Amino acid sequence: MFSWQERSLTVAEFCEAHSVSESLVYLMLADGRLKAVKLGRKTVIPPEAHRSFRESLPMFASGRAKASLPAQPAPKRRGRPRKPRPPAPPAEPTANARPPKPARQPSARRQVEG
């Protein structure tokens, strides 16, 4: 039987082997930091990509563990840019924001006597 380092892994297997989330793996695939192949509906990560991923980690590159991973730039936002929100109106100084409703007037309908 082959170890996980010698065979291609699905995204779920890669996440379990490297203790990372699926969303991080898909972000790395989108950024080009990780290579993968589609086999039907499955996304498979080849062994060469495993090695390059492990070598990119600071704890494996230097031979000893470091405190944290290097900072990555935030991914670019896709789609149309958002419109800036207008500033909020100033708060009313009174406790009641609406004036009270006027008293109801009696109906002007004529009542039919019967």
In the chain, where the domains are located: 4-61
Residue 92: what pLDDT?
A: 63
Q: Is the pTM of this model over 0.75?
A: no
Where residue 50 falls (left for φ over 0; alpha for ψ -120 to 50; beta otherwise) is: alpha
**CATH fold of the domain at 4-61:** Multidrug-efflux Transporter Regulator; Chain: A; Domain 2 (1.10.1660)
Residue 70: what pLDDT?
A: 56
Range name among 8-12, 31-35, 86-90 with the lowest pLDDT average: 86-90
Neighbours of 8 (CB within 10 A): 19
Where residue 112 falls (left for φ over 0; alpha for ψ -120 to 50; beta otherwise) is: beta
Residue 25: what pLDDT?
A: 92
Neighbours of 29 (CB within 10 A): 16
Phi, psi of 112 (to 5 degrees): -90, 125
Mean pLDDT of 58-84: 66
